[in-house]
Amino acid sequence: MVHCHSSQLAFRSLAASLFFAVIVPRAALAEPPPPAAEGPAPQSPSSQGERTSLQAVLAHAREHAPGLSVLDEEFGRVAARRRGTAPLLADNPRLAFGIGPRFGGASGTDFDFALGLEQPIGVSGERKRERETIAPLERRLRAERALYLWRLEQEIELAYRSLLHEEARLAVEDRALAFALDLARIAERRVAHGEATAIEQTVVRADALRAEQRQRAARAGVVAAQLVLAELAGYPLESPPRPLEESLPKPTLPPVESLLAAAEKHPDLARQDAVVAEEHAEVRLEDRRSWIKPTVGVELAREGSAGSPANYIVLGTLGLPLPAFERGQAERAERRVDEDVARAERERKRREYRARVQRAHADALAAEQQLALFTEGLLPQLAQGLSLIERAYAAGELDAIEVALVRERLLGAERDAVEARAEYERCWVVLQEAVGRPLGGSSSPAGGVR
**Which amino acid does the sequence have at 100?**
G
Question: Going residue by residue through the chain (450 aa), what tens digit of pLDDT does each one get?
Answer: 444 444 444 434 434 443 433 333 333 333 333 433 344 444 444 455 578 889 999 999 999 998 888 999 999 999 999 998 888 888 899 999 999 887 766 566 778 899 999 999 888 888 889 999 999 999 999 999 999 999 999 999 999 999 999 998 999 899 889 888 888 888 888 788 887 778 878 888 888 899 999 999 999 999 999 999 999 999 998 889 888 876 556 667 889 999 999 999 999 999 999 999 999 999 999 998 888 889 999 999 988 776 678 889 999 999 988 888 888 888 999 999 999 999 999 999 999 999 999 999 999 999 988 888 775 556 556 666 766 776 776 677 777 777 777 777 888 888 888 898 899 989 999 999 999 998 865 554 443 433
CA–CA separation, 402 vs 415, rounded Å? 20
Nearest 5°: CA angle at 149, between 147 and 153?
A: 120
Whether the model pTM is above 0.85: no
> Residue by residue, what is the 3-state secondary structure of the chain?
CCCCCHHHHHHHHHHHHHHHHHHHHHHHCCCCCCCCCCCCCCCCCCCCCCEECHHHHHHHHHHHCHHHHHHHHHCHHHHHHHHHCCCCCCCCCEEEEEEEEEECHHHCEEEEEEEEEEEECCCCCHHHHHHHCHHHHHHHHHHHHHHHHHHHHHHHHHHHHHHHHHHHHHHHHHHHHHHHHHHHHHHHHHHHCCCCCHHHHHHHHHHHHHHHHHHHHHHHHHHHHHHHHHHHHCCCCCCCCEECCCCCCCCCCCCHHHHHHHHCCCHHHHHHHHHHHHHHHHHHHHHHHCCCCCEEEEEEEEEEECCEEEEEEEEEEEECCCCCCCCCHHHHHHHHHHHHHHHHHHHHHHHHHHHHHHHHHHHHHHHHHHHHCCCCCHHHHHHHHHHHHHHHHHCCCCCHHHHHHHHHHHHHHHHHHHHHHHHHHHHHHHHHHHHCCCCCCCCCCCCCCC
CA–CA separation, 120 vs 266, rounded Å? 46
CA–CA separation, 403 vs 393, rounded Å? 7
Residue 410 backbone phi and psi in degrees, to 5: -65, -45
Contacts of 359 (CB under 8 A, 6+ apart): 434
How would you class 88 by CB atoms within 10 Å of its CB: exposed for 0-12, middle for 13-18, buried for 19 or more? Answer: exposed
Assess contact for 331 and 286: CB atoms under 8 A.
yes
CA–CA separation, 218 vs 165, rounded Å? 10
* Half-sphere CA count of 165, side-chain side, radius 13 A: 19
Taking every pair of Cα atoms in the chain, the longest distance, rounded to a whole number of angstroms, is: 145
CA–CA separation, 323 vs 290, rounded Å? 9
Assess contact for 139 and 212: CB atoms under 8 A.
no
Bridge-based pairing state of the strands 242-243 and 295-305: unpaired
CA–CA separation, 145 vs 141, rounded Å? 6
pLDDT at 375: 57
What is the separation, in whole angstroms, between the first and last Cα of the chain? 26
Looking at domain 6-29+51-320+333-435, its CATH architecture is Up-down Bundle (1.20)
CA–CA separation, 169 vs 415, rounded Å? 7
Contacts of 328 (CB under 8 A, 6+ apart): 286, 289, 290
User: How distant, in Å, are the alpha carbons of 172, 181, 248 from that of 5?
Assistant: 20, 30, 21
User: How distant, in Å, are the alpha carbons of 104, 131, 339 from that of 109?
Assistant: 5, 56, 65
pLDDT at 363: 94
pLDDT at 44: 45
CA–CA separation, 166 vs 45, rounded Å? 12
